[in-house]
Structure 1
Amino acid sequence: MHYAHGKFVWFEHHSNQRTEAQAFYRALFGWHFEENPMPDGSLYTMAKHGDHGIGGLRVSAQERGHWLGYVSVPDVDAATHTAVKHGGNVLTQPMDYGPMGRASVIADPQGAVFVLWKSAGGDAPDAPMPAIGSWCWMELLTTHDKAALTFYSAVAGYAHDVKDMGPMGTYYVLKHDGVQRAGVFQPRDIPMAIWVPYVNVPDCDAAAAKAGQLGATITLPPTDIPAVGRFALLTDPTGASLGVIAFAGA
């Protein structure tokens, strides 16, 4: 059975505006949605890109929507214990989710929320290049980059590379078993730490413009990253943050 430890393998949208969220992502990325029965008798809304499930939607009582990333770990209980030891807060204790896997929900010491996850069926292998319209990167925007690096190294086993971004500051690339899995960046002014998932798009400017027309707020307009591509940050109509990126040479 294959596992890709350190990889964010699932993404879940939480909001009290599920219908609005579905309409937005359907129009922006061409996703479609299916209701799937759960072992407890409830229904889970799955987001699909083509034939592939890429995420889920859950109803939340919180006023502001958010995306929740699931990171693959070898032992959820052990990783949860380590998270607490290093200053994290457990929002949901480790529990089994029917035949699918085991998970806990954690807030890191700066408040960014994520899921520790072990799938019962293993993780999907990495694609050479994520498909257009699918998730392609995960980025932690934090209030304390050095503390975040220490925490995630302990909890998820990450090493990291350092990238000098010039006037923008320093960007850290989290790696597990030599594979790049996520980024860490400390903006100059950020009210709270947050994990932000990115979707691969063919044209960043067009995607950002369309998102704005669909009711999103563009929090960072399309910007070039030398030798990488062009990206933008936005919040969807429910308040959930995400990024879009068009890779150079793609």
Structure 2
Amino acid sequence: MGVDPTGAREFYAALFGWRFRPEGDRGYHLILRDGEIVGGLGPAPAGPRFGTAWSVYLAAKDLDAARDRAAAHGARVLVPGVPAGGNGRLALAVDPAGAPFGLWQGAHEEGVVLVDEPGALSGAVLHSPRPAASEDFYRAVCGTSITAQQGAEARWLPRFGVTDGAAFEERARAAGATVRGPGLLSDPWGAVFGHLELP
């Protein structure tokens, strides 16, 4: 995820109650909430020059084929395919509008296990200056329909579930986060993420 994994683990543990389980010897950790996998955290696979950011990975049954489709439709491939311990393989690319994204081919049936609960992923939003073109790109690469939102900066934005949005933002600010807009924050290292108040 970024350039200070130790600090990030402390920050997000305080914010979401996450625990971290080391995987392999390259500094990668699985993120656990109530013992279930909610994500991963570690050094940026594309190198520290890319700074700190949340990466959204899209599932691929055949990583190489999906990567080749992405490249054929105008993506810039940064990491063509590397193993992630014994859990699977990943690739990183930038779509034609400029949004970084990942592709993930898991070695197991399950990936992220816990979703749509407090402290877990509750969706990801694609912002694009050209929403229709971005929707066409991901339909061609992944074979599924998405809805992109108009935005000056192209990016995938993960959103995590919370029980009380106002209380969460107050706690996040106290831990060093910056509120960037309604439901939108950045952590102390600049990684942007959203939160969604769950019923």
* Structure 1 counterpart of 2:135: 149
Change over 3 Å in CA distance of 1:185–1:98 after alignment to 2: same
Deviation at 1:42, TM superposition (A): 3.4
Deviation at 1:122, TM superposition (A): 1.8
* Structure 1 counterpart of 2:107: 120
Query: Structure 1 residue 237 and structure 2 residue 198: aligned?
Result: no
Residue number among 37, 40, 53 corresponding to 1:66 in the alignment? 53
Structure that is richer in helix per residue:
2
Deviation at 1:124, TM superposition (A): 5.0
Deviation at 1:35, TM superposition (A): 2.3
* Structure 1 counterpart of 2:96: 109
* Structure 2 counterpart of 1:185: 149
Change over 3 Å in CA distance of 1:23–1:89 after alignment to 2: same
Change over 3 Å in CA distance of 1:51–1:126 after alignment to 2: closer
Question: How high is the TM-score relative to the length of structure 2?
Answer: 0.89
Query: Structure 1 residue 47 and structure 2 residue 26: aligned?
Result: no
CA distance in 1, matches of 2:149, 2:91: 24
Query: Structure 1 residue 31 and structure 2 residue 18: aligned?
Result: yes
Q: Kindly indicate whether the alpha-carbon contact (under 8 Å) linking 1:15 and 1:62 is maintained by their aligned counterparts in 2.
A: no
Q: Kindly indicate whether the alpha-carbon contact (under 8 Å) linking 1:22 and 1:33 is maintained by their aligned counterparts in 2.
A: yes
* Number of residue equivalences: 196
Q: Kindly indicate whether the alpha-carbon contact (under 8 Å) linking 1:197 and 1:243 is maintained by their aligned counterparts in 2.
A: yes
What runs of 5+ residues in structure 1 fail to find an aligned partner? 1-13, 160-173, 175-182, 222-231
Q: Kindly indicate whether the alpha-carbon contact (under 8 Å) linking 1:140 and 1:194 is maintained by their aligned counterparts in 2.
A: yes
Deviation at 1:245, TM superposition (A): 0.6
CA distance in 2, matches of 1:45, 1:97: 10
Q: Kindly indicate whether the alpha-carbon contact (under 8 Å) linking 1:20 and 1:238 is maintained by their aligned counterparts in 2.
A: no
1:117-154 Cα offsets, whole Å, 9 max, x none, are 11121235977x72211111011111210110110000
Deviation at 1:64, TM superposition (A): 3.6
What runs of 5+ residues in structure 2 fail to find an aligned partner? none
Q: Kindly indicate whether the alpha-carbon contact (under 8 Å) linking 2:76 and 2:93 is maintained by their aligned counterparts in 1.
A: yes
SS of alignment partner, residue 83 of structure 1 = helix
Counterpart of 2:126 in structure 1: which amino acid? L
CA distance in 2, matches of 1:126, 1:49: 10
- Aligned-residue sequence identity (percent) comes to 32
